[in-house]
C-alpha cells in the first residue's frame, strides 16, 4: 500500500494546466526524429512510382467517377456470381437428386419404416442438399471476388466515397466499412464496429448493419431475382437483369441504412458526427491464388458448415412438424394458417412467414425451410433443377409480388440469432439489443405492407 | 520446451496479421485496410527448441490513450511484458511507422524491428538501409516480406537469440526539449523509487507529465493487485477478447 500512497501523492503534485503543451512537444519531437531517421536510411530511386496510388485515387475517389465505378464493380461481382453459379448449382442439385434416389432404394431394401425415410431423406438430406446446391456456387465466386477487392485496397475508397452521405445523416464515415463487412456476415460486422470510437456512432452502425444482405441472404435474393424478376429474359440478358435486381436490393438497403441513421441521430441517438482520419492505404496487387484459396477455405467452407449444422436439425424439425397431426391437419399447417392472414396483408403467405420465424438462428435456412414446408404438405415433386423449383412456388400461388416482398422482407427483417447475441455482447444493453430486433422488423413489415397494398390497389397483380 | 511471448505491434495495415499467419499457420483475416484487427489474437509456433506465443496487437499510430485499441496495445506491452516486442514497420511508409517505433523503444528494451513489405518497397523504388537503421535505433532490424515468406528464417533466429538474452540492445531513447527533460528526470527518479525496475520509470514519467489519467489508473490497479498477492488479471482480460467468430 506504501507504493500506492506515494504514487497518489505524485499524481496530485503534477500541474494539470500544461498538459496540452507537453503532448504537443512530445509529438513534435517524435515527428522530427522520424524524419531525421528516414532521411538517413531511405533512398528513393524513382519518384514517379511513389505517386501511383495517388493517381489512381484521383479516379477511384473522384466526385464524378467515384460512385459509377463503385456501382460498376459491385455490379460486375454480382454478374459474375450469378452467371457463374447457375450451372454448378443445377449440377449439384441433380447430383443430390441422383444420390437421393439410391438412398431411397437402400431404405426400401432394408424395409425401413416410412417415417424414418421421411425424417432422414425427405427432411434431413433434402434440406441439407438444398442448402449446399443453392449456396455453395455463389459463395465460391462472391467471397474470393470480394476478398480480391479488399486486399487490393479498394474498401477504404468506398468508405471515402460514402463518407459525405454518412456525415449528412449524422453517422460515422467508417460505418461504410462495417457495412462492407456485413456483406459477408452481420454477426462478424457487429464486432468490426469497434473501429468506431464514438459510442453514439458505433450504436448507429450496430443498429443498421442488418440492412446489408449477408451471405445467408444472398442466395435467397439471387434465386428469387433470377426465377421471378428476370423470367421474361434469357441468356446474358437474364443474368444482367438478375444482377440489377440484386443490386437494387443492396441500394435499397443502403438507403434504409442512411434513413434510419438519420432518424436515430435526430431522436434517440442525438449528436453530431465526430472527426476522424480515414487512411487510404497504397493499392497493393493481391496474391491472387492465395487470396482465392484463403477466402474459399475460411469463408465459403465456414459459412457452408454453419448452414449445414443449422439446416440439418431445422430440416428434421420441419418434417416432424409437417407430419404430426393434431385434429385433421399437421402442427405445421396449424401454425401456417394462423400466420396466413397477416402474411397475406404483407404480400407473403403463412409458409414464408413461418420460414422466417423458424429461420431466426440463421438466415441461410429460411429458403430450405420454406421449400421443406411446401414439399412436406403437397406436391412431392422431386427437385431436379432450378426450374422445377419455380413450379413449386407457382403451385403455391406465388406471383412476382410474393417474390419481391420476400426479397424485401429478407433484406429488411430482424438480424439472425448469432448477430443478436453479438449485439448483446458488444452493447451489454437489453434495450439496444431489443431495438436492433424491433426497428428492422417494423421496417420490414411496413415496407412489405405498403408495397403489397399499393400493387394490389393499382391492379398490378 | 520454454515458451516465449512475442507481441506484434505496428501501424494499421503494415501486414502484422499476414506475418502472424505466416509464422503461426493460423488464419487471421487479412485485408488492405486500417482497423481490420480489432482485438487480440494469439497463436504459437515452434522454432528449434523454443516455442513462441504470438499476440497480434491491434494496429495503432501511437500509444497514447487516444482510443480503446491504442490502450489495449500499450497496456499489453507495459503490463504483460512480452519477451519480445516485434515491431512491424511498413518499408514503403517508413516515416509514419517510425513514429510508433520510437514510442515502443521508450517502453521496452527487447524489441526487434521488422521492415515488412520490402518487395513492395523495391517495386516502388524505395531503398531502406536496414543496417543504418539498426545502428540508429539500437535494436536488430530485419527486412522481410511476410506475404512472400521472405526473411522469416532470419527473423526466427533473431527471435530465439533475443528471447534467450543473447542479443544485447541499446534502444534509442527520445530526447525532448530542455524544460521537459528537466521535469522528466526529476519525476523519473521519484517513480523509480516507487515502482523499481518493474516498469520503465522514464516512460512513466513522460506519461505522467502528459497527464495520461487512464494509464495512471491502470498502474494503481496493478500495484493494488500486486499487494493482494500478485494476481495478474490483465492477461486473462486481454486475451478474453480474442477474435471470435469469423470476420469477412
User: Using CA atoms, how far apart are residues A26 and B76, in angstroms rounded to an integer?
Assistant: 22
User: Using CA atoms, how far apart are residues B38 and A29, in angstroms rounded to an integer?
Assistant: 29
**Nearest Cβ partner for B32 among A4, A43, A151:** A151
User: Using CA atoms, how far apart are residues A432 and A445, in angstroms rounded to an integer?
Assistant: 20
Residue, of A116 and B113, whose pLDDT is higher? B113
Q: Which residue on chain B is closest to A290 by alpha carbon?
A: B147
Whether the CB of A31 is below 8 Å from some CB of chain B: the reply is yes
CA distances from A334 to A321, A327, A337, A350, B209 (A): 10, 10, 5, 10, 71
- Complex confidence, ipTM: 0.84
Element (H, E) at A208: helix A199-208
B246 falls within a domain: no
What pLDDT, on the 0 to 100 scale, is given for residue B218?
A: 87
Contact A33 B102 (CB under 8 A): yes
| B50 & B108 share domain | yes
Residue, of A184 and B245, whose pLDDT is higher? A184
Tens digits of residue pLDDT in A366-375 = 888 888 788 7
Mean pLDDT calculated for residue range A91-116: 89
Q: Which of A135-139, A279-283, B46-50, B138-142 has the highest mean pLDDT?
A: B138-142
- pLDDT band at residue B39 under the 50/70/90 scheme: low
What pLDDT, on the 0 to 100 scale, is given for residue B240?
A: 35
CA distances from A349 to A277, A342, A456, B26 (A): 48, 8, 15, 46
Q: Which of A113-117, A324-328, B203-207 has the highest mean pLDDT?
A: B203-207
Chain A contacts of B210, Cβ < 8 Å? 19, 22-23, 26
Among the three residues B163, B193, B228, which one is the final residue of a domain in this structure?
B163
CA distances from B135 to A375, B10, B162, B171 (A): 74, 20, 17, 10
Contact B248 A10 (CB under 8 A): no
Among the three residues B136, B163, B190, which one is the final residue of a domain in this structure?
B163
Are A224 and A406 contacting, i.e. CB atoms less than 8 angstroms apart?
yes
In the predicted model, is pLDDT for residue B244 greater than 90? no
What pLDDT, on the 0 to 100 scale, is given for residue B62?
A: 84
| B26 & B121 share domain | yes
| B156 & B43 share domain | yes
Residue, of A185 and A205, whose pLDDT is higher? A205
User: Using CA atoms, how far apart are residues B195 and B215, in angstroms rounded to an integer?
Assistant: 14
User: What cell does B129 get?
Assistant: 538501409
The minimum CA-CA distance between B2 and chain A, rounded to whole Å, is: 31
Instruction: Please give the tally of structural domains in chain B.
Output: 2
| B155 & B186 share domain | no
From A136-140, A282-286, A303-307, the region with the lowest mean pLDDT: A303-307
A375: Cα within 13 Å, side-chain hemisphere: 24
| B233 & B185 share domain | yes
Whether the CB of A41 is below 8 Å from some CB of chain B: the reply is yes
- pLDDT band at residue B233 under the 50/70/90 scheme: very low
From A28-37, A40-49, A75-84, A212-221, the region with the lowest mean pLDDT: A40-49
B169 falls within a domain: no
Q: Which of A136-140, A186-190, A273-277, A320-324 has the highest mean pLDDT?
A: A186-190
Whether the CB of B69 is below 8 Å from some CB of chain A: the reply is yes
User: What cell does B55 get?
Assistant: 499476440
Whether the CB of A299 is below 8 Å from some CB of chain B: the reply is yes
| B24 & B147 share domain | yes
Are B176 and B184 contacting, i.e. CB atoms less than 8 angstroms apart?
yes
What pLDDT, on the 0 to 100 scale, is given for residue A379?
A: 42
User: Using CA atoms, how far apart are residues A337 and A387, in angstroms rounded to an integer?
Assistant: 27
Chain A contacts of B64, Cβ < 8 Å? 23
A339: Cα within 13 Å, side-chain hemisphere: 19
Are B13 and B33 contacting, i.e. CB atoms less than 8 angstroms apart?
yes
What pLDDT, on the 0 to 100 scale, is given for residue B71?
A: 83
The pairing of beta strand A325-326 with beta strand B50-56: unpaired
CA distances from A243 to A218, A229, A353 (A): 11, 10, 25
Residue, of A320 and A12, whose pLDDT is higher? A320
Instruction: Indicate the average pLDDT of chain A.
Output: 86
Q: Which domain holds residue B182?
A: 178-238
What pLDDT, on the 0 to 100 scale, is given for residue B232?
A: 46
What pLDDT, on the 0 to 100 scale, is given for residue A247?
A: 93
B186 falls within a domain: yes
Q: Which residue on chain A is closest to B221 by alpha carbon?
A: A4
| B137 & B206 share domain | no
B245 falls within a domain: no
Contact B227 A150 (CB under 8 A): no
- pLDDT band at residue A15 under the 50/70/90 scheme: low
Which residues 118-157 of chain B have a CB within 8 Å of chain A? 120, 123-130, 132-133, 136-137, 147
Amino acid at each position: 500500500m506504501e507504493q500506492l500512497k506515494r504514487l497518489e501523492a505524485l499524481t496530485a503534485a503534477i500541474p494539470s494546466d500544461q498538459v496540452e503543451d507537453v503532448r504537443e512537444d512530445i509529438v513534435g519531437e517524435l515527428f522530427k526524429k522520424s524524419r531525421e531517421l528516414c532521411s538517413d536510411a531511405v533512398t528513393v530511386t524513382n519518384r514517379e512510382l511513389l505517386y501511383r496510388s495517388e493517381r489512381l485515387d484521383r479516379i477511384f475517389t473522384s466526385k464524378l467517377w467515384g460512385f459509377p465505378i463503385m456501382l460498376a464493380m459491385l455490379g460486375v461481382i454480382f454478374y459474375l456470381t450469378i452467371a457463374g453459379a447457375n450451372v454448378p448449382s443445377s449440377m449439384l442439385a441433380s447430383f443430390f437428386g441422383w444420390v437421393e434416389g439410391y438412398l431411397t432404394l437402400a431404405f426400401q431394401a432394408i424395409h425401413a419404416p416410412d417415417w424414418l425415410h421421411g425424417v432422414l431423406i425427405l427432411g434431413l438430406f433434402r434440406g441439407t442438399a438444398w442448402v449446399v446446391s443453392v449456396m455453395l456456387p455463389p459463395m465460391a465466386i462472391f467471397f474470393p471476388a470480394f476478398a480480391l477487392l479488399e486486399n487490393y485496397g479498394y474498401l477504404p475508397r468506398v468508405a471515402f466515397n460514402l463518407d459525405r452521405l454518412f456525415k449528412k445523416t449524422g453517422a460515422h464515415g467508417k460505418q461504410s466499412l462495417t457495412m462492407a463487412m456485413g456483406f459477408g456476415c452481420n454477426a462478424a460486422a457487429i464486432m468490426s464496429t469497434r473501429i468506431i470510437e464514438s459510442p453514439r456512432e458505433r450504436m448507429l452502425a450496430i443498429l443498421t448493419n442488418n440492412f446489408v444482405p449477408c451471405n445467408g441472404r444472398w442466395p435467397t435474393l439471387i434465386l428469387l431475382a433470377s426465377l421471378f424478376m428476370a423470367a421474361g429474359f434469357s441468356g446474358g440478358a437474364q443474368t444482367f437483369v438478375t444482377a440489377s435486381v440484386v443490386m437494387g436490393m443492396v441500394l435499397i438497403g443502403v438507403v434504409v441504412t442512411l434513413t434510419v441513421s438519420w432518424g436515430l441521430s435526430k431522436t434517440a441517438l442525438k449528436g453530431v458526427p465526430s472527426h476522424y482520419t480515414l487512411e487510404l492505404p497504397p493499392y497493393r496487387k493481391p496474391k491472387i491464388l492465395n487470396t482465392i484459396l484463403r477466402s474459399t477455405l475460411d469463408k465459403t467452407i465456414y459459412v457452408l458448415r454453419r448452414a449445414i449444422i443449422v439446416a440439418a436439425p431445422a430440416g428434421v424439425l420441419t418434417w416432424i412438424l409437417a407430419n404430426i397431426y393434431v385434429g385433421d391437419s399437421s402442427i405445421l399447417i396449424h401454425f401456417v394458417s394462423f400466420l396466413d392472414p397477416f402474411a397475406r396483408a404483407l404480400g407473403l403467405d403463412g409458409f414464408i412467414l413461418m420460414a422466417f420465424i423458424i429461420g431466426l438462428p440463421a438466415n441461410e435456412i429460411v429458403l430450405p425451410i420454406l421449400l421443406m414446408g411446401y414439399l412436406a404438405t403437397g406436391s412431392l415433386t422431386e427437385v431436379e433443377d432450378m426450374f422445377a423449383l419455380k413450379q413449386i412456388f407457382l403451385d403455391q400461388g406465388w406471383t412476382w409480388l410474393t417474390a419481391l416482398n420476400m426479397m424485401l422482407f429478407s433484406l429488411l427483417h430482424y438480424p439472425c440469432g448469432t448477430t443478436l447475441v453479438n449485439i448483446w455482447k458488444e452493447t451489454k444493453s437489453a434495450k439496444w439489443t431489443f431495438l436492433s430486433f424491433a426497428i428492422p422488423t417494423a421496417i420490414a413489415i411496413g415496407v412489405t405492407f405498403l408495397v403489397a397494398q399499393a400493387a394490389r390497389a393499382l391492379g398490378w397483380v | 520446451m520454454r515458451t516465449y511471448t512475442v507481441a506484434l505491434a505496428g501501424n494499421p495495415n503494415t501486414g502484422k496479421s499476414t506475418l502472424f499467419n505466416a509464422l503461426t499457420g493460423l488464419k487471421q483475416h487479412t485485408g488492405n485496410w486500417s482497423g481490420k484487427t480489432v482485438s487480440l489474437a494469439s497463436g504459437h509456433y515452434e522454432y528449434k527448441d523454443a516455442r513462441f506465443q504470438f499476440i497480434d496487437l491491434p494496429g495503432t499510430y501511437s500509444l497514447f490513450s487516444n482510443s480503446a485499441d491504442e490502450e489495449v496495445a500499450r497496456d499489453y506491452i507495459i503490463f504483460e511484458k512480452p519477451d519480445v516486442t516485434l515491431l512491424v514497420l511498413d518499408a514503403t511508409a517508413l516515416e509514419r511507422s517510425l513514429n510508433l517505433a520510437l514510442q515502443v523503444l521508450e517502453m521496452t528494451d527487447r524489441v526487434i524491428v521488422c521492415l515488412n513489405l520490402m518487395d513492395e518497397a523495391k517495386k516502388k523504388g524505395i531503398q531502406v538501409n536496414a543496417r543504418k537503421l539498426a545502428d540508429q535505433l539500437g535494436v536488430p532490424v530485419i527486412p522481410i516480406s511476410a506475404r512472400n515468406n521472405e526473411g522469416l528464417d532470419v527473423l526466427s533466429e533473431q527471435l530465439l537469440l533475443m528471447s534467450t538474452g543473447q542479443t544485447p540492445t541499446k534502444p534509442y531513447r527520445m530526447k525532448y526539449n530542455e524544460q521537459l527533460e528537466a521535469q522528466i528526470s526529476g519525476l523519473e527518479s521519484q517513480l523509480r523509487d516507487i515502482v523499481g525496475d518493474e516498469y520503465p520509470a522514464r516512460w512513466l514519467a513522460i506519461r505522467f507529465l502528459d497527464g495520461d489519467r487512464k494509464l495512471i489508473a491502470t498502474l494503481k490497479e496493478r500495484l493494488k493487485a500486486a499487494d493482494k498477492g500478485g494476481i495478474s488479471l490483465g492477461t486473462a482480460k486481454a486475451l478474453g477478447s480474442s477474435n471470435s467468430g469469423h470476420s469477412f
